[in-house]
Amino acid sequence: MDVERKLEDLGLVLPGPKPPLGAYVPYLSHERLIFISGQGPVLASGSAICGRLGDDLDLDDGARAAQLAALNILGQIKVALDGDWQKMSRIIRLCGYVNSTPDFTHHPAVINGASELFADVFGEQGRHSRAAIGVASLPMNWAVEIDAIVEIT
């Protein structure tokens, strides 16, 4: 499985892992699962997609933010697997949080930015269960934050 080649074909680059913003670990392995802590839409430069959906961001901005968060999830997975993508069985679950106004109701369409990336990169192994939840705010005013559970061999 050549994840970085697939990302390159999509015009994307796998970022390095981001350090945690608090007193927690970026991922935790337990038996055949890796739990990835919430990742935001942060670029390699450190800039991020910030703001609220339904206010200063539109649906396309939100989907791009979710895609960036998914790329950061992949960065953490790569570290957890010591770079050996063959150890990954599948993406099990995503939980996506959308920084949104009370009247914004398209949370699933926003988090599709992440879900579609995983399906494009991993095929059937990238299809997962998911929640998409609207919240009043997120750390650093991020547009989205996404955590994940991944099964490994």
Q: Do the domain assignments include residue 52? A: yes
Q: Do the domain assignments include residue 83? A: yes
pLDDT of 18: 85
Q: Do the domain assignments include residue 26? A: no
pLDDT of 142: 98
Q: Do the domain assignments include residue 22? A: no
Per-residue pLDDT of the chain (153 residues; tens, 9 = 90+): 799 999 999 999 898 888 888 999 999 999 999 999 999 999 988 899 999 999 999 999 999 999 999 999 999 999 999 999 999 999 999 999 999 999 999 999 999 999 999 999 999 999 999 999 999 999 999 999 999 999 999
pLDDT of 131: 98
Whole-angstrom CA distances from 15 to 8, 12, 75, 103, 149 are: 12, 9, 6, 33, 19
Q: Provide the 8-state DSSP code for 42.
A: B
Domain, as residue range, for 107: 3-15+33-152
Q: Do the domain assignments include residue 64? A: yes
pTM, entire model: 0.96
What is the domain-level CATH number for residue 77?
A: 3.30.1330.40
Q: Do the domain assignments include residue 37? A: yes
pLDDT of 16: 87
Cite the beta strand spans of the chain per DSSP E.
27-30, 33-39, 88-99, 129-135, 144-152
Residues of 78-101 as b/e, b for ≥16 C-beta within 10 angstroms?
bebbeeebebbebbeebbbbbbbe
Look at the chain and report how many structural domains it folds into.
Answer: 1
Residues of 36-62 as b/e, b for ≥16 C-beta within 10 angstroms?
bbbbbbbeeeeebbbbbbbeebeeebb
Interatomic CA distance for residues 68 and 7, integer angstroms: 12
Q: Do the domain assignments include residue 23? A: no
Q: Do the domain assignments include residue 98? A: yes
